[in-house]
Amino acid sequence: MIFIERFIQPPSTSFFLFGPRGTGKSLWIKNTFANSLYIDLLDPEYFRIFTAYPERIKELMNAQPQKKDIIIDEIQKVPSLLPLVHSLIEEKKGYRFILTGSSSRKLRRSGVDLLAGRALNYTMHPFLPAELGDHFVLEKTLQYGLVPLVYFSENPEQTLAAYVLLYIKEEIQAEAFIRNIPAFTRFLEALSFSHAQVLNVSQVARECMVERKTVEGYLKVLEDLLLCFAVPIFSKRAKRKLISHTKIYYFDTGVFKHLRPKGPLDKPEEIEGQALEGLVAQSLRAWIQYRNKGNELYYWRTVSGLEVDFIVYGQEGLFAIEVKNATTIHPSDLKGLRAFQDDYPEAQCALIYRGKQRLKKDTIICIPLEEFLLSLHPAKLMIEIL
């Protein structure tokens, strides 16, 4: 079995570790906190015991006082444990709780407050290409994504199909988040057409034949389960009239590829372009969160159609990044970046493309896709990566 060192850095205090299933949370915590008290709530016996007797956790801790790291895996399965964890943290006896889960939605619905800020929130993402290093294969990634469970599977296509089905069945249906599973399944497919696009909720509602409010509710469920994320418009000191809608992305390009219908009316290059932009989006998002330096991810688009795919903004600088699914660069490819640079002269602009050479077009750096992705390490400043 291949073990990949992950970039996430644990704090010295108690924390939640959320993340979609299959992203490697359990494997990471077992390796990172080897000498810990480990409670797996997916285990039927543990689930039964702690559902009936949450206070049993104190007995387990008292029996192994030398273990100061307490892992509770899939904490959302037994939300009634959280008040006890809260009181144990308040007692300040040197314990560190590591609480994992695939969603905070059920915890909030159960009326708990996520420990009132006593524990930090972290997210485990799919692999970053830089984490994989020599194991990273671009074409495989664009087809099957970077979810660890899928990426290292002997049959990634079947594993990806089972993975998507598991989420519909276990995370959504079993938790009673969605009652109309057929409509929600249609919604997942309809939303795939909006991946890496400006989100039009009314259009998605028409495509999956449900009301707009229903789609808004479905989107909230997806975001709560960490299966999709929105990127807002960059409007700071705007000099042009901008659109106001967000762009939407599935959390992993392989999940998008599996859900996206393909037929004679679907252009392969259009789907590949969406997959490519989604791969960069999820990688930038993971880099921002793992780096934890206050950067934020946006996009920029004027009402006249000028657009830049990604804006990274924070105390570390202002960076505009355009992604092109092409091996050559045409002057029109730089139009959005040039317009953004006119409005924000302090911005560093880059075009990511499928070519092999690193080029510079006036003030715009052009970087091969694989080079960019493999350089996206949270120990590096964006200015060092570009």
- Give the CA diameter of the chain: 69
Last residue of a domain, one of 123, 149, 176: 123
CB 272 within 8 A of CB 325: yes
Q: Residue 116's pLDDT band (boundaries 50, 70, 90)?
A: low
pLDDT for the residue 106: 65
The reply to whether 309 and 200 lie within a common domain is yes
The reply to whether 309 and 205 lie within a common domain is yes
Q: Does residue 55 lie in a domain region?
A: yes
pLDDT digits (tens, 9 = 90+) for 195-229: 999 999 999 999 888 899 999 989 988 888 889 99
pLDDT digits (tens, 9 = 90+) for 20-79: 989 999 899 989 998 899 999 989 999 999 999 998 999 999 999 999 999 999 988 888
Q: How many domains does the chain have?
A: 2
Sorted by sequence, the CB contacts under 8 Å of residue 106 that are 6+ apart come out as 76, 79, 175
The reply to whether 99 and 134 lie within a common domain is no
Mean pLDDT of the chain: 91
Q: What is the CATH number of the domain that holds 96?
A: 3.40.50.300
The reply to whether 177 and 292 lie within a common domain is yes
pLDDT for the residue 209: 85
The reply to whether 198 and 284 lie within a common domain is yes
The reply to whether 308 and 169 lie within a common domain is yes
Q: Does residue 92 lie in a domain region?
A: yes
The reply to whether 103 and 171 lie within a common domain is no
Residue 263 has pLDDT above 80, yes or no: no
Helix (H, G, I), strand (E, B) or coil at 252: coil
pLDDT for the residue 172: 76
Q: Which residue has the higher pLDDT, 178 or 85?
A: 85
The reply to whether 206 and 275 lie within a common domain is yes
Q: Does residue 7 lie in a domain region?
A: no
What's the rounded Cα separation, in Å, for the pair 269 and 283? 21
Residue 155 has pLDDT above 80, yes or no: yes
The reply to whether 73 and 183 lie within a common domain is no
What's the rounded Cα separation, in Å, for the pair 249 and 277? 9
Tokens representing residue 355 in the block: 């070519």
The reply to whether 147 and 118 lie within a common domain is no
The CB-based long-range contact list for 315-320 (8 Å cut-off, 24+ gap) reads 316/381, 316/382, 316/383, 317/348, 317/381, 317/382, 317/383, 318/344, 318/346, 318/347, 318/348, 319/347, 319/348, 319/349, 319/350, 319/382, 319/383, 319/386, 320/344, 320/347, 320/348, 320/349, 320/350
pLDDT for the residue 176: 58
The β-bridge partners of 102 are: none
Q: Does residue 10 lie in a domain region?
A: no
Last residue of a domain, one of 123, 152, 174: 123
User: Which range, of 101-115, 212-226, 231-245, averages the lowest pLDDT?
Assistant: 101-115
Q: Does residue 9 lie in a domain region?
A: no
Per the structure, the complete domain to which residue 96 belongs is given by 15-123
The reply to whether 150 and 115 lie within a common domain is no
Q: Does residue 4 lie in a domain region?
A: no
Residue 326 has pLDDT above 60, yes or no: yes
Q: Residue 120's pLDDT band (boundaries 50, 70, 90)?
A: confident
The dihedrals phi and psi of 363, each to the nearest 5 degrees, come to: -100, 5
The reply to whether 199 and 329 lie within a common domain is yes
Kind of pairing between the strands at 15-18 and 37-40? unpaired
pLDDT for the residue 80: 84
Residue 385 φ/ψ region, left for φ over 0, alpha for ψ in the -120 to 50 degree band, beta for the rest: alpha
pLDDT for the residue 79: 85
Rounded average pLDDT over 369-375: 97
Q: Does residue 280 lie in a domain region?
A: yes
Which residues in 32-86 belong to E strands, given as ranges? 37-40, 69-73
Please report, to the nearest 10 degrees, the dihedral formed by the alpha carbons of residues 210, 242, 232, 197 taken in order.
50
Q: Does residue 186 lie in a domain region?
A: yes
Last residue of a domain, one of 123, 142, 165: 123
